[in-house]
Amino acid sequence: MTTDKLSIYIPQDKRQLRLIERLSKLAKKRDRSINYLVVQAIMEYVEREEKKDSRK
């Protein structure tokens, strides 16, 4: 199985949002990995934006 990889960094001005800590807490609560949550969020964003573009 081949997987694509994507690395991200949290910009300095966003670090006060504690995104990794919050994602970790949600992942544990939902019994999912942080990666799973991030991929789900990306998929939802892409689908939403593609729908917006198709209406133009």
Q: pLDDT tens for residues 27-56?
A: 999 999 999 999 999 999 999 999 999 987
pTM, two decimals, is 0.82
Residue 36 carries which side chain, given as an amino acid letter?
Y
Domain boundaries, the chain: 15-54
Query: What are the tens digits of pLDDT across the range 10-26?
Result: 999 999 999 999 999 99
The C-alpha atoms of residue 22 and residue 12 are separated, in whole angstroms, by 16
* Whole-number Å distance between alpha carbons of 56 and 53: 5
Q: Are 19 and 26 in contact (CB under 8 A)?
A: no
Q: Tell me, what amino acid is at 32?
A: R
pLDDT level of residue 1 (50, 70, 90 thresholds): confident
Residue 3: pLDDT band (50, 70, 90) is: confident
Of 20, 13, 22, 38, nearest to 46 by C-alpha is 38
In which residue are the tokens 């964003």 written? Answer: 45
